Structure 1
């Protein structure tokens, strides 16, 4: 029988979210229903509310989630009822050209549930990133369920599902940070701080945090930044070069997603260094760089999709590192809130008051 639960929905562009009844169908083939225990409030959810991703309203928001599988459909073999899981939004298909080439983190045909969750009147909902986890239950493709150690609290575990994985993977997977590297991270929100923590774990010896907010720079130090630059007060490029012997950083992670900060990243890297774009730009943004500089500086300009992660490999690994005290996952949780507090959490995010608010059910 379908379940009617409470969920947080954006009904129209820019309107405050509402807590409404959501109908969750029984899982069909390859689908699973998950009882959500916690879900982080990510900036992507706000992008959905504001129409910055698509106009397929109404949206069921929330995607950084952990919970317990409560039902599975036919042909589901990798997870079972009672499994503790983190939800992911890139469940790889295993058969597209990227997967066949051994690069499943670039999968071009990721899975989502076939059925739709709906409003009480039958209106289909568009789940954020194919998840929709600001709800007591959600329906996903079984491949979106990644089992992790249940000793990890859900409030922290859910964050592996998006922002933390994106930042950590940008440094470690995409940027290939290694021992002795110098790293600069531009933008020190949750994603940027995860990149800092990942760079530290990978062995970087100089880790430079760049932001316009001194509060965020202080937090970045807690995640391992060895130096900070307030780019309102100091030119970011010159500041990074001064801290790296005049050369620039080996890897620069751009976690803002704006043309001006990307240009800073481009010129703040060493010759033959790497720029990693993990900040998400909006559709109207354009970038202009002298082509001769692109050629003459060499190196690599990369984009990082979801930290170029493979959830079944990376989520359990990060969960284990967190439980061992080697990765400060719990420190990303600034506050826990209820389902009815998502709009207030968006406001706190906009003021820069929080690293992550987490909805706990």
Structure 2
């Protein structure tokens, strides 16, 4: 049995704890990873608050990079000492989506079979099948994506979730291309990922919308050409004004609330695309005139994990960062220890950080 120091959530809304946990040796198809860095994502806070499910206790953390320490039988593509970014879309290769050549929609993604446990034997539920607020974690081999080992773990770890979701919402889901106008509503980690993705794709105009001046200033660092303070002006009217009265080609809702999605729907041009990448809660509903849905044309899409394929996207985006073309380092507000995760959640809720990253 392998021992590890880790952060868990025992119950809904309770402060997280740093405890010792037990990990088994990797079995068939499994990999043991020594975690080097793990971002503090809002999804981890959702787990702690019971917003995902009630399968407590949770082993939190999922936005991670590290080094493979051991591999189980039948693992052909990952070796000891590989530097990897962890992902929660380990595609099966056999489901309907995979067989149709669209593995980014995989309906049967893989996780490790063996559980990690508290020292008293209680089984842990790893966040998004990863559980990386831990010195070590056990994952399925398909959750490990090899990237350039020269990259800084603290930076590329963020590709594991929020930043990838944002970049992918722009490029993969929204199909942003050269000369497009793009508006992004909500400029946290995911929203600024969308802004960076739109800029990378060659968008001519990138409009950042938020209610927090600090977040709008962050957006400019990632490539926003215009900013709109939604606390001071009507966001839809402002986006239309900045796009010749037409609306943007692509509008991305990185908040995930009914009111922000409605803004995205009406702020797009005729035949434009609205993308929902912010995660709503189960009770949220939206009501739109069906005639408007019909009459405006275009597309309304949801973006799962930025519709990414980790084996394709993680190495590519790491290389773009290494070339100086993708400023992943600007997402890192602070580097912290495991003992500071609870404080990082509080800072996140107050909007003080873009990303806190646990460094081991």
Q: What band does the TM-score fall into relative to the shorter chain? A: over 0.9
Deviations 1:39-70 (A, max 9, x none): 00000000000000000000000000000000
Following the alignment from structure 1 to structure 2, what is the Cα–Cα distance between the partners of residues 204 and 158? 26
Q: In the alignment, is residue 332 of structure 1 matched against residue 355 of structure 2?
A: no
Q: 1:336 deviation in Å? A: 0.2
Unaligned runs of 5+ in 1: none
Paired position in structure 2 for 1:161: 160
Q: 1:220 deviation in Å? A: 0.3
Paired position in structure 2 for 1:96: 95
Q: In the alignment, is residue 292 of structure 1 matched against residue 291 of structure 2?
A: yes
Q: 1:34 deviation in Å? A: 0.1
Q: 1:257 deviation in Å? A: 0.5
Following the alignment from structure 2 to structure 1, what is the Cα–Cα distance between the partners of residues 355 and 2? 29
Paired position in structure 2 for 1:218: 217
Alignment of 1:191-270 (within 5 A): 191-270=190-269
Following the alignment from structure 1 to structure 2, what is the Cα–Cα distance between the partners of residues 350 and 76? 40
3-state SS in 2 of match to 1:272: strand
Q: 1:157 deviation in Å? A: 1.0
Paired position in structure 2 for 1:348: 347
Following the alignment from structure 2 to structure 1, what is the Cα–Cα distance between the partners of residues 176 and 282? 29
Q: In the alignment, is residue 111 of structure 1 matched against residue 110 of structure 2?
A: yes
Following the alignment from structure 1 to structure 2, what is the Cα–Cα distance between the partners of residues 21 and 291? 54
Paired position in structure 2 for 1:305: 304
Q: 1:228 deviation in Å? A: 0.4
Following the alignment from structure 1 to structure 2, what is the Cα–Cα distance between the partners of residues 24 and 295? 53
Following the alignment from structure 1 to structure 2, what is the Cα–Cα distance between the partners of residues 218 and 351? 16
Q: 1:199 deviation in Å? A: 0.3
Alignment of 1:23-34 (within 5 A): 23-34=22-33
Deviations 1:137-173 (A, max 9, x none): 0000000000000111000011000011000000000
Paired position in structure 1 for 2:120: 121
Paired position in structure 1 for 2:84: 85
Give the root-mean-square deviation of aligned CA atoms: 0.4
3-state SS in 2 of match to 1:194: helix
Deviations 1:214-263 (A, max 9, x none): 11001100111000001111100000000000000000010000000000
Following the alignment from structure 1 to structure 2, what is the Cα–Cα distance between the partners of residues 23 and 157? 27
Unaligned runs of 5+ in 2: none
Alignment of 1:121-160 (within 5 A): 121-160=120-159
Paired position in structure 2 for 1:61: 60
Following the alignment from structure 2 to structure 1, what is the Cα–Cα distance between the partners of residues 303 and 21? 33
Paired position in structure 1 for 2:280: 281
Deviations 1:101-155 (A, max 9, x none): 0000000000000000000000000000000000000000000000000111000
3-state SS in 1 of match to 2:275: strand
Deviations 1:53-105 (A, max 9, x none): 00000000000000000010000011000000000001000000100000000
Following the alignment from structure 1 to structure 2, what is the Cα–Cα distance between the partners of residues 16 and 102? 43
Following the alignment from structure 2 to structure 1, what is the Cα–Cα distance between the partners of residues 253 and 332? 22
Following the alignment from structure 1 to structure 2, what is the Cα–Cα distance between the partners of residues 175 and 326? 20
Deviations 1:268-318 (A, max 9, x none): 000000001000000000011000000000000000000000000000000
Q: In the alignment, is residue 17 of structure 1 matched against residue 16 of structure 2?
A: yes
3-state SS in 2 of match to 1:54: coil
Paired position in structure 1 for 2:186: 187
TM-score by length of 2: 1.00
Paired position in structure 2 for 1:39: 38
Q: 1:4 deviation in Å? A: 1.0
